[in-house]
Structure formats: C-alpha cells, structure tokens
A and B are shown apart, each in its own frame.
Chain A
Amino acid sequence: MDEHGNVGRMRDALEAFNRGDLDAYREFFDDDIVWFVRGTHPMAGAYRGVDALFDYFGRAREATGGSLRIEPVDIVADDRHAGVVARVRGRREDGRNLDVEMTEAFTFADDGRVTEFWALAADQSAVDAFWA
C-alpha cells in the first residue's frame, strides 16, 4: 500500500529529534505551533510558538542528558493529520527511567509544517513521576 508523504516526514522528524539535531527538527514546525503537554508535572502546559516549544525541548533534553528517544511503533497520515503510536524512553540523572507508550496527534498547515500537537500517555502517572 502506498505510504503518504507525511508518514515519511514524521519518521524523518523523529529521527532528527532522536539524534539531537534540534535545528533539523525545528524545520518541521510552523512558527505558530501550539503544543500541549498533558500532566501535573512542571513541564506540563501549552507551548505557543516555535521559540517556546524549542525552549521546552531544550529543557527536556537537559533534564534527561539527551537520553530521550521516541521510537515510532506506527504512523498514519494524510495531508492535514498524522497519528503516531510511539514508545518513549528516557533517563534522569538521578536514575529515574521512563518507558511509556504515547499516542500523538499532529495537524499540518498547507505547507506541511506542524501547527498543533496533543498526546496521551498509556501511563500518565509514570510520566508525571519522571518529570517531577
């Protein structure tokens, strides 16, 4: 079955994130991106605009010593949307580990850049404890 181009784009974006190439990763996002982070932990909230978003990504990388990895299990997409099921893993310097399945929703602008993101962890309490 033919794969939609946005499936490949999502895969490329996650690869850029996983190798720590935030400049390449940033190219996938619209300037007016709205990115929702669910939970009760200090990183939770809505990040509006690409600068706020990458400030958050920078802090998340710092807090995990660059260990955060998003491994897609499944990606579906059309021109306007992508859905991702991924395994997210990371480690804090104090030894706390994260290994959780996430469901992620992306919407795209006309030019294919991401305009909105929201997500759900299979185990939110594990996410809250990891970032606490």
Chain B
Amino acid sequence: MSSTHPNAIKLRDAIDKVTSGSLDVGGAFAPDLVWRIVGNHPLAGDYHGLDAWRALMRTRSELTGGTYRPQPQAWLGSDRHVFCFLRLTARRDDGREIDTSHVAVFRMGQDGLAHEFWDVSSDQETEDAFWA
C-alpha cells in the first residue's frame, strides 16, 4: 500500500522532525539533495546540498515569523517517489496570508534516501504573491 510504504514512513518521520524545529535529516536526505522551489518569487530556484537546504528553511521561517505550517494529509510512497499531499498555511509580517493545497514530491534513490524534492502548488499565483 502506498501509505505504508517504508519510504513514505521514513519521509513522514523526517518532515515531522523538521516541522518541530530539527534540521537533522541525514537519515532521510542524501548529501547531494536538490530541493527545487518552483515559481516566480525570490525564494524560487534549486538548492543544492543540505547546507543550502538548511539556509532555505531558516530564511522561510524568518520571513513568516515562525507561522509556516505544512499540514500533511497523506504520505504516499513507492520505491521511486514519495508524495505528500498537504495544506500550507503561513503569514507574512505585513499581513499577507496563504492557505493552499500542495503536493510535495521526493525522488528516492536506490540507497533509500531522498535525492530530489519539488513542490507543486495548486495555486502558483497566490504562492508567488505571498513570497514576493
């Protein structure tokens, strides 16, 4: 079953830790991880490696005053990918808010680690305006 695939459970546990403030993801993310942020806004781009990923997490947390909350609804995995369906809520200092549906995708290597990540917003325009 997709929802009980070991890759889904591993990524779910890793992201739970991230959401609770830990940036220690060595058991789930490969050192050569590429984290892709899609869109037309200042955070968009490809982040290579765990240091770049950690810096992005800190920037995102600062920009949202700690209100960045991905709320997973389902974790689905196969040998090759893990999909997380989630609702994202966050708020900027100037009052801009976001409340959108996303699917986040991790490409899994044969080593059982995530090597690539991309996030698919159901509403890219709202996403772009929020981070602008």
Q: Which residues of A are at the interface with B, using a C-beta cutoff of 8 A?
A: 1-4, 7, 36, 38, 73-78, 80-83, 85, 103, 105, 107, 116, 118-120
- Residue numbers in A under 8 Å from B81 (CB-CB): 74, 76, 83, 85
- Residue numbers in A under 8 Å from B105 (CB-CB): 83, 85, 103
- Cross-chain pair count, CB within 8 angstroms: 71
> CA separation between A73 and B77, bound complex, in Å?
13
Q: Which residues of B are at the interface with A, using a C-beta cutoff of 8 A?
A: 1-3, 5, 8, 38, 73-74, 76-78, 80-83, 85, 101, 103, 105, 118, 120-124
Residue contact B2 to A7, C-beta cutoff 8 Å: yes
Q: Which of B77, B82, B118 contacts A120 (CB 8 A)?
A: B118
Chain A interface mostly helix, strand, loop or mixed? strand
Residue contact A76 to B2, C-beta cutoff 8 Å: yes
Given A83-B103, A103-B103, A105-B120, are A4 and B2 also a contact pair (CB < 8 Å)? Answer: yes
Q: Least Cβ distance of A100 to chain B in Å?
A: 14
Given A36-B122, A103-B120, A105-B120, are A81 and B73 also a contact pair (CB < 8 Å)? Answer: yes
Q: List 25 A-B contacts (CB under 8 A).
A: A2-B1, A3-B1, A4-B1, A4-B3, A74-B80, A76-B76, A76-B81, A76-B82, A77-B76, A78-B2, A78-B74, A80-B73, A80-B74, A80-B85, A82-B76, A83-B76, A103-B105, A103-B120, A105-B120, A105-B122, A107-B85, A116-B101, A118-B103, A118-B122, A119-B120
- Residue numbers in A under 8 Å from B101 (CB-CB): 116, 118
